[in-house]
Amino acid sequence: MKIVLASGSPRRKEILNKFGYKFTVEKSGFTECGGESDPISVAIKNAKGKASDVFMRLKDKNESDFAVIGADTIVYLNGVILGKPKDRLDAVNTLKNLSGNEHKVITGFCVLGKNLCVVGVDESTVKFNDLSEDLINEYIDKCKPFDKAGSYGIQDGFPLTESVSGSVYNVIGLPIEKLKPILDLILL
């Protein structure tokens, strides 16, 4: 069975490569939903929407046996979903809000195939260090986190976080610990 990642995220690709999976990438055209206060529902809806979009396109092309992975990662602080920053000022403000605080990172995922639909979610808790304005500006200048939920990437090598409870891969964008058993089973 062929694995297809419904994402252009370089971080998701890196995780699948690191764990030895062979896959292709078909970026989804699904428009992410938001506006709800329940981050788990939003993450799952978006993951299913991304996987379904790519699945239907490939099905229409009469592709052979395949399974599509869709995922959506949400940063959630004090009852608010923090999306990707609109601009530099938004990134600065988001990082200031995260500074010294604990927040949740939730990734919804969907593995969709001809006779397969597995949906799940993973949640990690991240505690941020107290960040100086200089560190925030240096981080944004060097790492350009404009395509990252919450305006940061834990893998970027900056001292942003104090601790992570749960999967670091989930925080990066793909909870491989939960996906691996599913992928290994369908690849038998």
- What are 75-123's pLDDT values in tens digits? 999 999 998 999 999 999 999 999 999 999 999 999 999 889 999 999 9
Domains of the chain: 2-186 (3.90.950.10)
- Nearest C-alpha neighbor of 173 from the set 103, 77, 105, 80: 105
User: 117-149, pLDDT tens digit by residue?
Assistant: 999 999 999 999 999 999 999 999 999 999 999
Q: Per the structure block, which two tokens stand in for 78?
A: 């004090």
Banded model confidence at residue 188, pLDDT cuts 50, 70, 90: confident
pLDDT surpasses 70 at 36: no
* Exposure b/e, 110-132, CB count within 10 A at least 16 = b: bbbbeeeebeebbbbebebeebe
Rounded average pLDDT over 158-174: 96
Rounded average pLDDT over 167-174: 97
Q: What is the pTM of this model?
A: 0.92
- Mean pLDDT value across the chain: 94
Amino acid at 23: F
pLDDT surpasses 80 at 64: no
Q: Per the structure block, which two tokens stand in for 141?
A: 């200048």
pLDDT of residue 35: 64
- Nearest C-alpha neighbor of 45 from the set 133, 97, 108, 137: 108
CA distance 167 to 162: 15
| Helix (H) or strand (E) segment spanning residue 1 | none
Phi then psi dihedrals of residue 2, to 5 deg: -90, 135
Q: Are 32 and 9 in contact (CB under 8 A)?
A: no
Known catalytic residue at 72: yes
C-alpha dihedral, 39 to 175 to 12 to 138, nearest 10°: 70
Strands 116-128 and 102-113: antiparallel
Annotated catalytic residue within 38, 72, 87, 141: 72
pLDDT surpasses 80 at 62: no
pLDDT of residue 1: 86
Banded model confidence at residue 19, pLDDT cuts 50, 70, 90: very high
Cβ partners under 8 Å of residue 82, min gap 6? 74, 75, 76, 94, 97, 98, 103, 149, 150, 151
Count of helices and strands (H, E) across the chain: 6, 7
Amino acid at 158: F
